[in-house]
Copies of this chain bind each other. A is one copy, B any other.
Amino acid sequence: MSLTRTVELEGHIIDSGRMQQCFTAVMDLGGSFEVEEFNVGKNEDEASYCQLSVSADDEATLQGILHELHQNGAVLRDPPNVTLEPAPADQVVPSGFYSTTNHPTEVRYDDEWIPVEHIEMDCALVVEPEGSPEGGPRAYTKVLNAIDEGDLVATDESGIRVKPPERPRGSDGPFGFMQGGISAERPSESTIRQIAEELAETKSNGGNVLVVAGPAVIHSGAGDALAELVRKGYIDAISAGNGFATHDLERSIYGTSLGMNVETLEHPRKGHKHHIWSISEVIRAGGIEAAVEKGVITEGVMYECVRNDVPYVLAGSIRDDGPLPDTITDAVEAQDAIREQAREADLVLMLATLLHSVAVGNCLPSTTKTVCVDINPATVTQLLDRGSAQAVGMVTDIGTFVPTLAEFVLEAGD
């Protein structure tokens, strides 16, 4: 073993699992380590500190290990300044560019650690030496397609440090710390009550609640409950797709969702007519807002959004019918709109949609609280598996979840 580097870890590194991750990463990737110094936090409130020297036979292996340690918050001892290289062309990053995590991050520039703005994973990290309002350096993330020629892009991990989430002290309510799996066997109503309390508390603290909703919310008859939460001011933004909006609008126009009356369950036949007719009515009216104003749409989630100035993003997809005039058909434009929503959010409810939840989740820092609800356990697992510090997953029926949530939120909010 000829190559060695020394890193430091600090914080609640034992109970947050970071020490374990670092030790096993070294072993998994074929390196070895030596603990040079270790001070354990004496109790639950004291931080621990570990200085670790890591060795490997070749530089590639060592880099692979350091990459893993970096992602778990390890920092090189005596960290250098971040390495920056200008982007050779629009949308083209320098080779070996630093790809961001979704954790709070700082870059070392001019021997100072400066925080990175707009944390989002899988982005480039750009530094503007004189970009801050005060004329000092500024660092932020940029998605590949937004890179401009000449942007100074970080190309190395050595001057960058991330802060992976730490396990909160005390109880974390329904939110499991770094909870990778979920169970279908937790008490449903009690869990919903805790989520409702979290939502009410977020609102009473002035927080921002973003709801990501799939078409099943409407099909399953939960549209009224969601509309009520919008009307009562509990939802600050909706992120959905053409399908969700169309089903909601169809209900207002025809009283059906894909042709089925969601109250009486009558005519459960494949009446696709209503679906495509609803789209054409809204096109004729000139869009959702115009359709509300003209009285074409008189109730539902979209109606309440328009009436209560709750902004919504309808992101297009290749399976859309129509689409509605409000649907953003370009994926990059839609991502940008979703990114704006995500940055505002303090609490995100992902309701019965994998596609839109992944799109929103991709833009979220690991510090945003998220609630993932789906009938398919694989969907919930996939959504929780992003390293969010505080996430709760429920495998449940969206058609009973939303009305129960609304009832509990209104109780908790009183």
Q: Which residues on A are within 8 Å of B, measured CB to CB?
A: 14-17, 19-20, 23-29, 32-35, 38, 40-44, 50, 64, 67-68, 71, 88, 91-93, 95-97, 99, 121-122, 144-145, 167, 169-171, 174, 180-181, 184-192, 194, 216, 219-222, 257-258, 260, 262-265, 267-273, 275-277, 279-281, 283-284, 315-323, 329-332, 334-335, 338, 355-356, 358-359, 362, 375-378, 381, 385, 395-401, 403-404
Tell me the complex Cα distance, A184–B281, Å: 28
> Can you name the residue of chain B whose Cβ is closest to the Cβ of A399?
B188
Contact of A220 among B122, B186, B271 (CB under 8 A): B186
Determine the distance from Cα of A270 to Cα of B271 in the docked complex, in whole angstroms.
Answer: 33
Q: How many angstroms between the C-alpha atoms of A187 and B403 in the bound complex?
A: 12
Other-chain contact of A378, B14, B34, B184, B263 (Cβ < 8 Å): B184
Of all chain B residues, the one with the shortest Cβ separation from A184 is B375
B321 pairs with A332, CB closer than 8 A: no
- Verify B121–A267 contact, CB threshold 8 A: no
Q: Are B187 and A265 in contact (CB under 8 A)?
A: yes
Smallest Cβ distance from A161 to chain B, in angstroms?
17
Assess the A187–B29 pair: CB atoms within 8 A: no
Q: Is the CB of B397 within 8 A of A186?
A: no
Nearest Cβ in chain B — how far from A238, in angstroms? Answer: 15
| Contacting residues, chain B, for A25 (C-beta < 8 A) | 269
A99-B276, A186-B260, A319-B358 known; A32 vs B44 contact (CB < 8 Å): yes
How distant is A285 from chain B, measured CB to nearest CB, in Å?
Answer: 10
Contact A144 B33 (CB under 8 A): no
Most chain B CB inside 10 Å of its own CB: which residue of A14, A262, A264, A322:
A14
CA distance A258 to B185 in the complex (A): 10
Of all chain B residues, the one with the shortest Cβ separation from A332 is: B329
List chain B residues, Cβ under 8 A from A257: 187
A317 to B328, CA, bound (A): 11
Let me know if B181 and A318 touch, CB within 8 A.
Answer: no
The distance in angstroms between the C-alpha atoms of A375 and B396, with both chains bound, is: 7
**Residue A399 contacts which of B169, B187, B221, B284 (CB distance < 8 angstroms)?**
B187
A34 to B99 Cα, complex, angstroms: 39
With contacts A174-B265, A186-B220 known, what are 19 further pairs, Cβ within 8 A? A14-B20, A15-B24, A16-B20, A20-B20, A96-B277, A144-B276, A145-B322, A184-B378, A187-B257, A189-B400, A190-B265, A316-B331, A318-B331, A318-B359, A319-B359, A321-B362, A323-B331, A376-B376, A400-B404
